[in-house]
Amino acid sequence: MNGAVVVDKPSGPTSRDVVEEVKRALGVRKAGHTGTLDPLATGVLPVCVGEATKLVQFLALDDKEYRATLRLGIRTDTLDTEGSVLTREEPRVTREQVEAVLGGLTGRREQVPPRYSAVKVRGKALYDWARRGIDVAAPPREVEIYRIRIEEIRLPDVTFAVSCSKGTYIRSLCAEAGDALGCGGCMAALRRTRSGPFREEAAVALAGLTEAEKRERLMARLLSPAELLPDVAVIDVDPQLAERLRNGFQPDGESLIRHHIPFLVAGDVIKFTTGSKQLVAVARMLCASDELASRAGKEQAARILRVLNG
């Protein structure tokens, strides 16, 4: 069984717990999610199974959208309401101040991952170091906040929608907003509403179902590997070339020129399919598509990144 399902993760379980639940329900040995959600968080968690696990690295690069609740006046060690309270202060802020601070958080910025997070430093997750009482500083990473839209202000809580790049920690965003407002803040709730092309409307809720019901619901929503990476250009190849690709062939100009090639530039990620129904491989172009004819016949034109079998 190969493909991906979009699970509506409930609050409480870890992302790894959800993956294990999917593995049991579908009876598969290989599965992996495309981006961690904190135990507190809910929402869209794409889970790849079988050969589709080879695509996790590409799906994890997708932009994300969230609905978050910032609780003002409280600072915690985990930057959310599940941590130990460090300070409390009555939030005396206006709507205009909240709007100005959150609006000012958009754009490219460096963000330091929270001490309690799965980011690895020196071979261990930050939360492992933190639980041992060892303060390990993680290097900042560049993230981008595309937009923030306030949905409701009912102090001490502020609910907002945010669109951002991969690797963005909304907990850190909430803490930063609270500090900028002078009263501190932490994340009280978080729901991922979109991960790349996967939206909450397509997410499957598994809570309260029997194993048989879970399997039935997941199978009904299973996306084939060819349906994943919908924004990646497709080159549909014949069975002969598909077999060569699966056997390690690196496509050259001569092998590609016979097929319909969309407009591509060097560096573009592409996927090879057969009959647009079966995903054969994911590759990166080494030249533009209009250069294929002029390249030496046997000169490599694309580098295979992943090959899928079956």
Kindly give the confidence (pLDDT) of every residue in the chain, 310 residues in length, as a single tens digit, with 9 standing for 90 and above. 899 999 999 999 999 999 999 999 999 999 999 888 988 999 999 999 999 999 999 888 889 999 999 999 999 999 999 989 999 999 999 999 999 999 999 999 888 877 666 667 666 666 677 677 667 777 788 999 999 999 999 999 999 999 999 989 999 999 999 999 999 999 999 999 999 999 999 999 999 899 999 999 999 999 999 999 998 999 999 999 999 999 999 988 888 887 778 888 999 999 999 976 899 999 999 988 888 777 656 788 899 999 998 6
Condensed to tens digits (0 to 9), the pLDDT of residues 170-196 reads 999 999 999 999 999 999 999 999 999
176, 197 contact by CB (below 8 A): no
User: What residue ranges define each of the domains in the chain, with the CATH number in brackets?
Assistant: 3-62+197-226 (3.30.2350.10), 64-195 (3.30.2350.10), 232-307 (3.10.400.20)
Helix and strand numbers (H, E) in the chain are 8, 17
Q: Give the global pTM.
A: 0.87
Length of the chain: 310
* Closest listed residue to residue 136, CA positions, set 148, 150, 147, 125: 125
**Helix ranges restricted to H, 162-238:** 170-180, 211-220
Structure tokens at 261: 């090639």
Tally of CB atoms within 10 A around 255: 21
Active-site residue (options: 8, 38, 62, 80)? 38
CA distances (Å), origin 290, targets 242, 247, 281, 284: 22, 27, 21, 15
63 as an active site residue: the answer is no
Distance CA 8, CA 193 (A): 9
Cα R_g (the chain), whole angstroms: 23
